[in-house]
């Protein structure tokens, strides 16, 4: 019996155990592979989170950059002074800043991740522009125009009367077009005749300054100015 045990142990260590040892190699390789894939999976998640955080941070910085680009020129939305020349220059600068602001918001090449503050500010600033043009410029201008029309006599130069007629016709055509959902281009003739009346309402205004009213009024319509009424 003792001899059988000795033979068994001798045979176990000499033949069976060395043969079975090869069975552990795939198991060890599997354990190593599983540890490796687990580490790679964790690394992938960390990389994805870092990329996501980077995109959110960049979107935030982009928001701040767009907002800062406007506030560098206007600490707050401007107000008109009542002087036609100064008011046209103010509206022209405000309009150009809004166009830059709008373009910056459109050139957004990454997801916003809910960071829409710059879009909200753009909407509010455009509303301020529309209110400013309507209340502080168009209404006073139309009052002067109405007064001048009431003072027309047989001695009034025909050229002046035609400027009044062209201006009112252009305004009516533009209003009708927008009510029908039609669009005009800035280069169209109807916008070139609009500013002429300003040289009559304010004799001292320079033609090149008066000409700014063309685009000012175009964007007033394009951004929904008629909806204020």
Same domain, 19 and 58: yes
Same domain, 179 and 84: yes
Cα–Cα nearest to 83, from 205, 196, 212: 205
**What is the rounded average pLDDT of the residues 159-174?**
92
**What is the rounded average pLDDT of the residues 156-180?**
90
Cα–Cα nearest to 96, from 119, 64, 129: 129
> Last residue of some domain: 72, 103, 131?
72
Counting the structural domains of the chain, the total is: 2
Same domain, 111 and 211: yes
Q: How far apart are CA 226 and CA 175, in angstroms?
A: 7
Same domain, 145 and 203: yes
Same domain, 141 and 225: yes
Per-residue model confidence as pLDDT tens digits over 119-148: 788 888 999 999 999 999 999 999 999 999
CA 183, 187, 191, 195 dihedral sign is positive
pLDDT value of position 5: 47
pTM, two decimals, is: 0.70
> Last residue of some domain: 55, 72, 89?
72
Cα–Cα nearest to 163, from 226, 216, 210: 210
Same domain, 134 and 228: yes
> Last residue of some domain: 31, 49, 72?
72
Q: Which domain holds residue 3?
A: 1-72
Same domain, 107 and 9: no
pLDDT at 8 over 50: no
pLDDT value of position 99: 92
Same domain, 191 and 208: yes
pLDDT value of position 166: 93
Same domain, 6 and 117: no
């Amino acid at each position: 019996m003792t001899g059988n045990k000795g033979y068994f142990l001798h045979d176990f260590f000499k033949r069976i155990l060395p043969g079975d040892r090869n069975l552990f190699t795939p198991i060890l390789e599997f354990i190593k592979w599983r540890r490796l894939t687990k580490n790679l999976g964790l690394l992938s998640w960390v990389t994805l989170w870092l990329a996501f955080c980077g995109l959110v941070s960049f979107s935030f910085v982009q928001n701040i950059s767009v907002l800062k680009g406007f506030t560098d020129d206007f600490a707050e939305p401007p107000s008109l002074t009542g002087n036609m020349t100064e008011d046209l220059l103010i509206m022209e600068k405000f309009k150009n800043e809004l166009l830059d602001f709008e373009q910056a918001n459109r050139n957004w090449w990454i997801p916003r991740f809910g960071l829409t503050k710059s879009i909200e500010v753009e909407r509010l600033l455009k509303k301020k522009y529309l209110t400013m043009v309507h209340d502080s410029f168009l209404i006073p201008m139309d009052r002067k125009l109405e007064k001048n029309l009431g003072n027309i006599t047989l001695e009034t130069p025909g050229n002046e009367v035609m400027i009044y007629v062209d201006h009112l016709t252009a305004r009516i055509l533009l209003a009708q077009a927008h009510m029908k959902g039609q669009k005009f281009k800035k280069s169209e003739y109807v916008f070139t005749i609009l500013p002429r009346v300003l040289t009559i309402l304010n004799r001292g205004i320079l033609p090149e300054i008066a000409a700014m009213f063309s685009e000012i009024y175009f964007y007033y319509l394009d951004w929904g100015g008629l909806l204020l009424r």
